[in-house]
Amino acid sequence: MLTPLAGQAKTDARTAERRAAETLAKMTQEEKIGLLHGPMPMLLAASKRPKDVAIGAGFIRGVERLGVPMLVESDASLGVSNLMEMRKGDVATALPSGLSLASSWDPELARAGGAMIGSEARAKGFNVMLVGGVNLIRDPRAGRNFEYLGEDPVLAGELVGGQIDGVQSNSIIGTIKHFALNDQETGRNVASVEMDEASMRESDLLAFQIGIEKGNPGSVMCAYNRVGGLYSCEHPFLLNDVLRRDWGFKGFVMSDWGAVHSTEAILAGLDQQSGEQLDGKPYFSDLLVKAVEDGKIPQSAVDKAAGRVLYAIYAHGVADHPLQPGQTIDYDAHAEVAQRAAEQGIVLLRNEGGILPLATTAKKILVVGGNADVGVPGGGGSSQVNPVGGLKRVTKGAESGPAAGFARRGYVGTAPLDALRAEFPGATVSYLDGKDAAAAATAAKGADVVIVFAEKYSTEAVDHLDLSLGEGQDELIDAVASANGKTIVVLETGNPVLMPWLNKVPAILSAWYGGQRGGAAIARVLAGEVNPSGHLPVTFPASVDQLPNPVLPGSDAPPADKETRAIYGIQAGTKPFDIHYPEGSDAGYRWFDKKGLKPLFPFGYGLSYTQFRYDDLKATGGKTLTVRFTVSNSGARAGADVPQVYVTRPGKAKRLIGWAKPDLKPGESKEVTVTADLRVLADFDAKAQRWVLPAGEVRVEVGASAADPVLTGTVRMNRFVRKP
Ligand code: BGC
């Protein structure tokens, strides 16, 4: 376990508020406004960049005379992705993707990863980390899903809370994002999500609410998209009502980079304009100064916003722990954290005839495809980390469109091929890149076992139109599996994919984007040194026709014309359109449950090299809902399981209320307890502005996935009412 920085004790909220008020009282107007905006250093001439300051996504000038430090910001959730320094060859530890982390169902692992990347951020001179993304996965084609934490609000909320808490243990401000409903990339700067309040509160907003309660982030980043016609960054309902009034959030709201459209946004609850050059206008600097002078914006709005920034600075120990950039980082120890995370994020989807773990008797192993000779893929965009060892085999992530300027497709870390050779010293492990499917099939015939690596590149700013692997990989797998029945597929993707070859392939692993040590983690799982324990945080549909929107919203929208580009401040993209989510609050498995659809692999699914049994369900209802049961390892290997508890109310889709992750030796049993947060079961009554759970019977199930109830029972719940 990593030890967070010494002296990271946080200041309590009341002290932080008092200190913020005292400092604010001493500040000039210029100093206050200075806290409310900042540039993207990459777009600043070198001479305008502050000296001896780390160059990341942005910075906000502090007030030196009052001991208010400069806020130095870095992306993001998968490690320090320090843009400029990266070009100069700086590296950082690359954690596995969000979907990998979410597959662990382990908030402690999220915390350990957060503590590690936060310590690197601080050592490099950053005190704000733009971590963690908690947009719900509503569409498995969305480009940024790899950064996010799955389709369920409780799972995503708990994990992001752990991640942020870990990051902030380094006296750093964390930033939960992108608030709200920024669930796809297509049209992200122009589209408007149309959803009723109850649906929002029970899904995407609930993930944020839980994340904020668990992680206490210093900041919230409002999103690019519009919600109900209004930009998220000038949305009084989202920012003033939900976030501040209802949830009591005391920190500051920073905009996404290029997401500000007016000075009046300050009245709606936005405090800080980030990456201001991208907005085209100095909304929160010169224009704000003028608006206050002209009486259009009250001084109190500026004071409030500056006070919130100061509050976060004091509450998270940023003022009390000045940055000392250039500290040494123990990259070897950090790589271990990345590897442990990658190992726990691998999901075993299929293992017919116990082909895995690979027997040490396999003497001829053929590895095919997926650039497995160089490393594992990473996703593109602002979250991309230049890993220790560098990005290998890099190509452009997009030839045209919104990602063309910045997305890179690169391979990181330990190459699976090398790692497999190390795991199987007695075998000949050969490699073919898979470009020639016929040649791969011929070679497969002579191998004891074939491992095909299949990948799909995802990046910020672009969605996929379908769920296919693409690049001829389905054909490759089919050809190889037809030639050799002992073919194992390792998927390295940022999203669920279809598997037309499924029945020909006895074993499948989903390794997502495994980060810097992904290759080693895959090899250890294949060899059986690690017993896989990952469970899907997202449903794998059997076809796009099963999705609430079979056609990705906006994928048929016409390209933005000159006028649209000027209005929305974008260089490329589509004309504005509305996004409707027919599933409402029932995203992912809930939609599949409601519609009686059978997915390819359900949410929560994941196999192990051992077997688990569930017994003795004891569920008690009334004022609270507590579910107890026993989990036993009935197989021959030690391993961890993730039994899940779902609750279904009459006429409703099932909802995950919690889970356990017991680690069990062969023959060992443990009783576990899951207690429900009743908001998760309740409806949000928008009229009464309350969570309401009507009295009545609910069905409780303990399942191995959302589609595999093992123990079931019913309990009677009392009526439950709670403020938002
Ligand atoms: C992304 C954010 C990121 C910011 C700064 C934006 O494009 O949406 O997630 O933190 O850039 O790099």
Describe the strand order of the beta sheet including 192-194 as a list of residue ranges: 230-231, 226-227, 192-194, 578-580
Q: Give me ligand 1 centre to Cα 180, in Å.
A: 14
Give the atom of ligand 1 at the shortest distance from the alpha carbon of 81: 12
Instruction: Find the helix or strand (DSSP H, E) in which 456 lies.
Output: strand 449-456
* CA neighbor of 599 nearest in space, from 550, 655, 543: 543
* pLDDT, position 112: 98
Site residues for ligand 1, CB cut-off 6 Å:
57, 75-76, 130, 177-178, 256-257, 382
Q: Give me ligand 1 centre to Cα 378, in Å.
A: 17
* pLDDT, position 11: 75
Q: In this structure, which residue's CA is closest to atom 6 in ligand 1?
A: 257
22-42: average pLDDT: 97
* pLDDT, position 87: 64
Q: In this structure, which residue's CA is closest to atom 4 in ligand 1?
A: 257
Name the least confident of 85-94, 174-183, 350-359, 441-450.
Answer: 85-94
Confidence of residue 7 (pLDDT cuts 50, 70, 90): very low
pLDDT one-digit tens code per residue, 127-159: 999 999 999 999 999 999 999 999 999 999 999
- Rounded to whole angstroms, the Cα distance separating 203 from 618 reads 28
Helices 518-527 + 331-345 axis angle, to 10: 50
Q: What is the location of CATH 3.40.50.1700 in the chain?
A: 331-527
User: Any alpha helices (H) in 398-463, and if so which ranges?
Assistant: 416-423, 437-445
Give the atom of ligand 1 at the shortest distance from the alpha carbon of 73: 5
Q: In this structure, which residue's CA is closest to atom 3 in ligand 1?
A: 382
pLDDT one-digit tens code per residue, 331-353: 999 999 999 999 999 999 999 99
Give the atom of ligand 1 at the shortest distance from the alpha carbon of 147: 9
Q: Give me ligand 1 centre to Cα 501, in Å.
A: 37
Contact 76, 160 (CB under 8 A): no
* pLDDT, position 2: 38
Of 256, 384, 570, the one to substitute when testing ligand 1's pocket (max ligand atoms within 8 A of C-beta) is 256
- Rounded to whole angstroms, the Cα distance separating 64 from 26 reads 12
Q: In this structure, which residue's CA is closest to atom 5 in ligand 1?
A: 57
Q: Give me ligand 1 centre to Cα 256, in Å.
A: 6
Q: Residue 194's CB: how many other CB atoms inside 10 A?
A: 14
**CATH superfamily ID and name for 612-722:** Immunoglobulins (2.60.40.10)
Q: Give me ligand 1 centre to Cα 382, in Å.
A: 6
Say whether 422 sits in a helix, a strand or coil: helix
Q: In this structure, which residue's CA is closest to atom 11 in ligand 1?
A: 257
Name the least confident of 1-10, 261-270, 289-298, 712-721.
Answer: 1-10
Q: In this structure, which residue's CA is closest to atom 2 in ligand 1?
A: 256
Confidence of residue 258 (pLDDT cuts 50, 70, 90): very high
* pLDDT, position 429: 98
Q: Give me ligand 1 centre to Cα 629, in Å.
A: 43
* pLDDT, position 565: 87
Assigned token pair, 547 = 């999705």
Q: Is the pLDDT of residue 418 over 60?
A: yes
Q: Is the pLDDT of residue 37 over 60?
A: yes
* pLDDT, position 568: 85
Of 55, 173, 382, 460, the one to substitute when testing ligand 1's pocket (max ligand atoms within 8 A of C-beta) is 382
* CA neighbor of 534 nearest in space, from 521, 547, 516, 519: 521
pLDDT one-digit tens code per residue, 352-393: 999 999 988 899 999 999 999 999 999 999 999 999 988 889
Of 75, 86, 233, 253, the one to substitute when testing ligand 1's pocket (max ligand atoms within 8 A of C-beta) is 75
Q: What is the location of CATH 2.60.40.10 in the chain?
A: 612-722
Give the atom of ligand 1 at the shortest distance from the alpha carbon of 223: 8
Annotated catalytic, 463? Answer: no
- Rounded to whole angstroms, the Cα distance separating 468 from 496 reads 9
Please give the DSSP secondary-structure letter assigned to residue 373: T
Q: Give me ligand 1 centre to Cα 133, in Å.
A: 10
Contact 193, 225 (CB under 8 A): yes
Q: Find the catalytic residue in 165, 256, 271, 373.
A: 256
Assigned token pair, 247 = 């949830």
- Rounded to whole angstroms, the Cα distance separating 216 from 79 reads 20
* CA neighbor of 154 nearest in space, from 574, 531, 603: 603
pLDDT one-digit tens code per residue, 665-675: 999 999 999 99
* pLDDT, position 85: 59
Contact 148, 134 (CB under 8 A): yes
Q: Give me ligand 1 centre to Cα 113, in Å.
A: 20
668-683: average pLDDT: 98
Mean pLDDT over each residue of the chain, to the nearest integer: 96
pLDDT one-digit tens code per residue, 468-490: 999 999 999 999 999 999 999 99
Give the atom of ligand 1 at the shortest distance from the alpha carbon of 175: 10
Q: Is the pLDDT of residue 698 over 90?
A: yes
* CA neighbor of 406 nearest in space, from 462, 456, 470, 466: 462
Please give the DSSP secondary-structure letter assigned to residue 421: H
Of 55, 130, 462, the one to substitute when testing ligand 1's pocket (max ligand atoms within 8 A of C-beta) is 130
Confidence of residue 196 (pLDDT cuts 50, 70, 90): very high
Q: In this structure, which residue's CA is closest to atom 9 in ligand 1?
A: 382
Q: Is the pLDDT of residue 6 over 60?
A: no
Assigned token pair, 454 = 């299949």
Assigned token pair, 442 = 């011929």
Of 257, 260, 385, 570, the one to substitute when testing ligand 1's pocket (max ligand atoms within 8 A of C-beta) is 257
Contact 659, 695 (CB under 8 A): no
- Rounded to whole angstroms, the Cα distance separating 567 from 400 reads 21
409-421: average pLDDT: 96
Q: Give me ligand 1 centre to Cα 74, in Å.
A: 10
Give the phi and the psi of residue 609 in degrees, each rounded to 5: -80, -5
CATH of 331-527, one of 1.20.1290.10, 3.40.50.1700, 3.40.1010.10, 3.10.20.310: 3.40.50.1700
Q: What percent of the chain has pLDDT over 90?
A: 92
Q: In this structure, which residue's CA is closest to atom 8 in ligand 1?
A: 256
Q: State how beta strands 612-620 and 376-377 pair.
A: unpaired
Give the phi and the psi of residue 361 in degrees, each rounded to 5: -80, -10
* pLDDT, position 8: 45
Chain centroid to CA 207 = 11
Contact 420, 526 (CB under 8 A): yes
Q: Give me ligand 1 centre to Cα 255, in Å.
A: 9
Q: Residue 503's CB: how many other CB atoms inside 10 A?
A: 10
Give the atom of ligand 1 at the shortest distance from the alpha carbon of 274: 5
